[in-house]
Structures are given as C-alpha cells and as structure tokens.
Amino acid sequence: MMHNTLDNTRLHSRLKPRKPDLRGDYFRDQTAIIHAQPFRRLKHKTQVFFAPENDHVCTRIEHVLHVSTIATTLCKGLGLDGEMAQAIALGHDLGHAPFGHPGERSLDELAKANDLGRFIHEVHSLRVVDRITRDGRGLNLTYAVRDGIVSHCGEHFQQVSRPETREKDLNAITNRQAAPLTYEGCVVRMADKIAYLGRDIEDAISTGLITKKDVPDELKRTLGSTNGEIIDTLVMDVVDASKNSDAIAFSDQRYQLFCRLKDFNYERIYNHPRLKESDTAINNLIHSLYHHLDQRFRQYGEDGKAYQTSPFRVDQRFWTFFSKRKTLYADDAQRRRCVIDFVAGMTDHYALQAAHEILFPRPIAIR
C-alpha cells in the first residue's frame, strides 16, 4: 500500500484557513477550479491543433478532463485518493498560454528577453491559482493540490515516478525538475502523457496530417489502434506495474512501446511542416500583443483614464485586469510581469481578436 510521507494535516492545509464543509478538502478544490474563469477559458485554448471550426478536435479543456478521468481510474486501481488526483488534474493546465506549446514558447522567449525569468506553464498554473484568478484573491487550494499542479510536468517521459519526501516551498519552484510530494501527483504526471499521445494521433488523422497506415503496425497491435484502446492498455499496465511497488511506473515492455509512440508523434505530428508553419504565425502574433501592451503600460502606467479612452478595447481590458490586481503588482519586478500574465490568460479567440484590432488599420468613418 502506498502512503504519502506528509500527513493529511499538511496536505489539507491552505494559504488561508477555511472552515471544513461536507464536500471534503479535495472535492472542494475541484469545485473551486471548475467555477474559476481560467478553467472556463480552456475550452477556447489549443491543445495541439489550432482548429476553431472543428468541434471534434481536442481543446485544452477536453485534455484536462481526459487527464482527470485517467488519473481517477489509476487511483481506483492503486487504492489512492481519487478526489485529490482529480483536483490536481482539473487544475494542472490553468496557466497554459493560448495556442498551446507554441504560445508557451513565445511567452518564454519574451520573459527571458525582458529579464522576467521564465514562462513555464506548470509554474504559471500555480501563479494563476494562488495569485491571479478571482481578481488577485486566488482559489486558496490545498497544499497537496497546489503541489501537484506545479509539479505535474507533462514534458518528461520517465518510466518511474516517486514522490519527494521532504516538504518544499512551492513558490520557490522555477523549473520542471520538482517531483510531486504525493503518489496522486505522480499519477497525474503519468495520466497527462497517457491522455494526449493517443488522442493526438486521432486528431492528426482527422485533420489529414497522417493516416492510420502511417502508425507502425507493432504499436497498433500492442498498444491499440484507437485512443480508447491505447488509454486502456497503458492504464492497466501502470496499475499492474505499480500495485506491489513504491512507485507509479510503466512495465519495461510497455514503457519501450510508449516511448516509440512518443517518438512517432514528435516526428510525424508535432514537427509536421503544417504545424511548424502555424507556429511562426503564432509567435508573431504573441510578440505583437506583448509589445503593444508593454508599450502601453510604459506609456500610461496607472493612468486609468488613458486606458479607458484608448481606441483599442484590448487596452481597456488590460487596465481592468491590472487595476483589480494592484496588490499583486505592487513592486517593479511584479509590475513588469503583468503583461505576460495578461497575454497568458487569453483564449485563442481573444488573442486573434486583439491582434486584429492592433495590427489592422481602422477604416475612416465618412460623415
């Protein structure tokens, strides 16, 4: 039986004490996340394919729900706390940029170029739930869920995941190296990758990037030929490989196949020329939005009237965002991060609308 090192008193603790209610701590976190605006915006954020007119291509919110159900299933098989894992999964991508990983890379470039550190969506997701959402009040989630969010790391494809045993300062995390403090957090790490590899193949087929014949026969035979079959195979493998151990893990055989599937996706899907072409356009768009708003911020500062009388609605909305969170941006270092935070919170749709507004000339009205 797996047991987390930290006791429940610490895992259940919040930044601000709250009186318990009948929902329990982790289900309460789930409801807080689901009702938060950043969660609602996930339905209009790209997962891998920017395809706003195709209702059947996976969006960020669908991915999050997939991770949640997979993580909960793993917890059922391993005797872990499914409500904790589900809360971590629902919140793990709340800080993701518009347009998926190309958007994240663009914001990371801008953050580094302007001496603002890094933009890493795992770290930014913690910033969102702690400090940005609810007009700067945050969601006041449990320590366990906050730890799982900042440590979920969907980029590293390790075979084995073990929780850290020493309590850590979550706000001091600046990279993807920190392991979760709970087995449930480790489960979400595995579920994140299981959720998107098979689904991305289905979306790549439906958008014409690849065909079913392109997927290696061995992978279809051993892992499955549909997203559902791939998920079922990998979930059962993790349960079987982990239930008598002290780690969340894939078996040796399935892990090798899992890595082959990952390599196939990177080679044939994520690095496909059509996606690379859109990456360039996304990078230009994100840079344009950032530079426009950064210039406005330097020009107007805290002059609310100047923003409100600007001909650009994005300037007005930026002022609303900033003015409601002045305590967050009290010092110069935090103030300079404000534009990154605002752009990161945009949906694909709103980013396109705002970019059109600032890049396209407005017609002159004839009187």
344 shares its domain with 256: no
Average confidence (pLDDT) over 157-175:
93
Query: Which domain-ending residue is among 271, 306, 323?
Result: 271
Q: How many domains does the chain contain in total?
A: 2
The pLDDT of residue 281 is above 80: yes
Which of the four pLDDT bands, split at 50, 70 and 90, describes residue 51?
low
Residue 61 has pLDDT above 60, yes or no: yes
- Statement to judge: residues 266 and 300 lie in one domain: no
pLDDT at residue 54 in the model: 67
Angle between helices 25-34 and 143-150 (to 10 degrees): 50
Q: What pLDDT was estimated at residue 323?
A: 96
Per-residue confidence (pLDDT) for residue 274, from 0 to 100: 87
pTM of the model: 0.95
Q: How confident is the model at residue 156 (pLDDT cuts 50, 70, 90)?
A: confident
Flag whether 265 is in a domain: yes
Q: Which of 83-92, 112-121, 185-194, 195-204 has the lowest mean pLDDT?
A: 195-204
Residues 267 and 278 in one domain: no
Domain end among 243, 271, 299: 271
Q: Are 81 and 216 contained in the same domain?
A: yes
Q: Is the pLDDT of residue 280 over 70?
A: yes
The proportion of the chain whose per-residue pLDDT surpasses 90, expressed as a percent, equals 81
**Over 80: is that where the pLDDT of 362 sits?**
no
- Same domain assignment for residues 179 and 314: no
Does the pLDDT at position 49 exceed 90? Answer: no
In the predicted model, is pLDDT for residue 346 greater than 60?
yes
In the chain, the percentage of residues whose pLDDT exceeds 70 is 97
101 occurs within a structural domain: no
Which among 225, 254, 271 is the end of a domain? 271
Domain identity same for 217 and 299: no
**What integer pLDDT is reported at residue 204 of this predicted model?**
87
- Distance in angstroms (rounded) separating the CA atoms of residues 350 and 45: 10
Rg (CA), the chain: 21
> In terms of domains, do 186 and 307 share one?
no
pLDDT at 263 over 90: yes
Q: Which pLDDT score, from 0 to 100, does residue 268 have?
A: 93
Question: Is residue 3 in some structural domain?
Answer: no
Condensed to tens digits (0 to 9), the pLDDT of residues 35-47 reads 999 999 999 998 8
Residue 37 domain flag:
yes
pLDDT category at 141 given cuts 50, 70, 90 is very high
At 75 the pLDDT is 98
pLDDT reported for residue 183:
98
Is residue 343's pLDDT more than 70? yes
Residue, of 1 and 78, whose pLDDT is higher: 78
The yes-or-no verdict on residue 57 having pLDDT over 80 is no
Same domain, yes or no: 317 and 266: no
Average pLDDT, the chain: 93
Res 225: pLDDT? 87
Residues belonging to the chain: 367
Q: Residue 339 is part of which domain span?
A: 274-359
Q: Is residue 126 part of a domain?
A: no
* pLDDT at position 52 over 80: no
Q: Decide if pLDDT at 154 tops 60.
A: no
Residue 364: inside a domain: no
Q: Does 26 have pLDDT greater than 70?
A: yes
258 and 165 both lie in a single domain: yes
- pLDDT tens-digit map of 68-77: 999 999 999 9
Distance CA 183, CA 202 (A): 30
Shared domain for 250 and 287, answered yes or no, is no
